[in-house]
Amino acid sequence: MANDPAPPPAERTDSSPWNWLLLVPIVIPLLTFLFDEREPRLAGFPRFYWLQLAYVALGVVCTAIVYRMTRRRR
């Protein structure tokens, strides 16, 4: 590590209030009482299955929002 060029500006940071949104798709899919049931069924799928599949959309939406709000300005 002999040659150490100027590091990136020190004031850069990843912190943003939007990051808290990431907690939503981490916590909700782990709450078994929300989905560990048969009824109501949706298109033949018991709740256990359709709701856990729907959590993918929750994850995508929350993560995409955080990405859009925190990406590098061009």
Check binding of 23 to another protein (CB under 8 A).
yes
Does residue 18 bind another protein (CB under 8 A)?
no
Find the binding residues for another protein in span 28-57 (CB under 8 A). Answer: 29-30, 32, 36-38, 41, 43-46, 48-49, 52-53, 55-56
CB 36 within 8 A of CB 48: yes
Residue ranges binding another protein (CB under 8 A) = 1-10, 12-14, 19, 22-26, 29-30, 32, 36-38, 41, 43-46, 48-49, 52-53, 55-56, 58-60, 62-64, 66-67, 70-72
